[in-house]
Amino acid sequence: MNNTIAETKALISELKPLVKDAKCDVVICVPFTDLAAAVAETAGSNIKVGAQNVHWAEKGAFTGEISAKMLVELGVEYVIIGHSERRQYFGETDQTVNARAKTALASGLIPIICVGETLSEREGGKTEEVVVRQITEALKDIESSELENIVVAYEPVWAIGTGKTATSQDANDTIKVIRDQIAKLYCPNCAQNKVRIQYGGSMNPKNASELMAMPEIDGGLIGGASLKAVDFSQVVNY
């Protein structure tokens, strides 16, 4: 929940020349009120726009929610689903994550599906159990042909907005658990070559190179570092 329309325009304007030669996909996921401005400001650039949530119903009595059709009409291409803050503060469950993901895919949106354990779950030795359950439920009834249109983000809840970061090896090991589970649900090739798995726990200019050097980490879901164009560009261009 950051940035007004004016602030979003200014940030994108500063960001565009800094990431124009990026060797990776660049996506910014802004608040609903900033989406139209973000789509207009990124037009003709290599930056794509995503939303931070989407409802599973096409329309109806769901005050405060946004449908996939509304997002597509705006020109949005990605959507974050199941972010730890949605789970922690707004009652998101594994089942609603699955419902939202299926609707996003059916509408042509690319879901960025978030999974990750809390501090108590990690300290209780339940990290593997939690992420396996979350990814299994999130992908329920989704065909293997859709995996190319899905991004998974591993974001340990205890590392979101705290400045704490899992060690690069810890992040790599947990992402391997997620990838191995996708291989079991679908096929090894599907897990290795079709789905992208990002790390989302306080990645920033200082640790991006070390994290991205790990073999299982395909990208980053950037939080605080994305609010400053220079910092975000340094992660993108690590």
- Please state the domain extents for the chain: 82-221
Q: What letter represents residue 172's amino acid? A: N
Residue labelled with tokens 């993901």: 101
Looking at residue 166, its pLDDT comes to: 77
- Which residues of the chain are under the pLDDT cut of 70? 160-163, 165
Give the start-end residues of each E strand in the chain. 26-29, 47-51, 78-81, 110-115, 151-154, 196-199, 219-220
Single out the catalytic residue among 41, 83, 85, 117.
83
Looking at residue 165, its pLDDT comes to: 67
Looking at residue 161, its pLDDT comes to: 62
Looking at residue 122, its pLDDT comes to: 87
Single out the catalytic residue among 41, 117, 155, 216.
155
**Yes or no: domain 82-221 corresponds to CATH 2.40.260.10:** no
pTM: 0.96
Is residue 55 annotated as part of the catalytic site, yes or no?
no
Looking at residue 159, its pLDDT comes to: 73
Is residue 128 annotated as part of the catalytic site, yes or no?
no
Interacting residues of 194 by C-beta distance below 8 A, sequence separation 6+: 144, 147, 148
Looking at residue 97, its pLDDT comes to: 98
Residue labelled with tokens 């996921």: 29
Q: C-alpha angle with apex 50: 44 to 51, nearest 5 degrees? A: 140
